[in-house]
Structure 1
Amino acid sequence: MGGTRGFGIDIGGSGIKGCVVDLTAGRLEAERIRIDTPDPASPDLIAGVVKKIVDGFGWTGRVGVTLPAVIKQGVAMTAANIDKSWIGTDARTLFAERLGRTPDEVAVLNDADAAGMAEIRYGWPGDQSGVVVLLTFGTGIGSALFLDGKLVPNTEFGHLEVDGLDAETRAAASVKDEQDLSWEEWARRVSRYIRTLEDLIWPDLIIAGGGVSKKADRWLPLLDVRTRVVPAELRNDAGIVGAAVAAELGAKP
């Protein structure tokens, strides 16, 4: 790896957070900066927050940025829990211009893909074998799919239809809070969702991420699924770490 430090920004529906990352250890070097996602969560307003966070650390190197969107060649093809004006936006060029970087100094990728990259790279070695899915439970449900440690980018398993509804409208962590569901009630919904996913891809392991992974002991034991489900080791910092990794990998030929 060309350097031992990187910088990642993780953009979510409720907050935007970033930090310098120790790329050798796979952890944040300092306390992250978090700023509420602006409303509307438009490209211009979000780019302004990203610049504020990067400038807050005085960081001058490469930057990785995640978005809750399908990303193709730096362009946002969808927009989940952010303003729909992101669709068709060249996010890599936008962030590069706002940060005073060249486009090849900025990496933009799906938020769940970034979190999954961090977990696979820095998690248990056994997490790299077979078909592994990372699911991030937050404002929505993000997903990252790996086959023997290699990413299959831009999966959107959070939008699977389950009982006639978009899965994340029933089983996202935000729904638990909004509907004041007990852990048992929410775990039943998550189980129903995971069973639908299992019937499609038969994973060998599921890694549960997002902020709710910090309370994994409250709900993972309640799941009724056939696949082993483990909490994400990097917890809610995985997106930042994965974004920094993507920026560093982008520096390589």
Structure 2
Amino acid sequence: MDSANMRHVLRWTQPKASCNTTLLYSVQYQGEFELHVKNGRWMKTPDCQRIALAHCDLTLDLGSDSDYSLRVQAQCGSKLSVWAKFQFNRNNVTPPVPEIKVTTAGDALLVSVRKFPLTAATRVKVWKNDGEQQAEDYSLPADQEALKVPDLQEGAVYCVRAQVFLKSGMQSGYTDRHCVSITGPGAPAWKQPTAVTVTVVIMLGLLVVLFWSVIHCPPGSCQKFFQKEPLPPSLKEISGLQITIHHQGEELCEDTPRLLSAAQT
């Protein structure tokens, strides 16, 4: 079995007996569920029935941490070989190093972990500056993929490593060191856009209320807000002046068609 990054590929060698036609192979597996619940039934691997290749990818078929029995049979024409058997448990395979992402939120450290298999637990080491010997260990269960470490020193640099381990005791190597600086308990990133949005909504609401008030204002009420101021004395004298307009006599115009007819004669 070749296992790399939790991908399991079963390989076998060709039988020594010669065959006049193409050798075909079929693969079956049996886990604890098939053994105890289905009365020892062998399951056929869908993608590895009567194939000419000498290998089969069983990653999707070996979906639990139980013991599996695997077997392969060769076929030459109408002749079948005996089953070649193999025992496997993916817990006995060294798991791959997880992928981590380290960020900060105020005075807290956030560590996101991506791991495979998903049933693996995670161990996270956190330390301040170069004091890795005094690192604190944190454990994440299999159903948790994020860790929050609060109440850290503002302005200090903290570093993180992580590894995954299986129930069997097998564990991956540690990730590379990831270091970040703690920025302190400043305002969360969501506050600024939220404040802008609230301000815009309030201003729009005030404009709508003002516009509605102007349109629906009763005449009597509106006069209280828009009162006519009296004219000053200097303007009152001017306002009393009367302007007389003399009408000039209307000009008499001869009829144009008559002038034209007179010119013609």
TM over 0.5: no
Larger strand share, 1 or 2: 2
Higher helix share: 1
TM-score interval, smaller chain: under 0.3
Max radius of gyration: which structure?
2
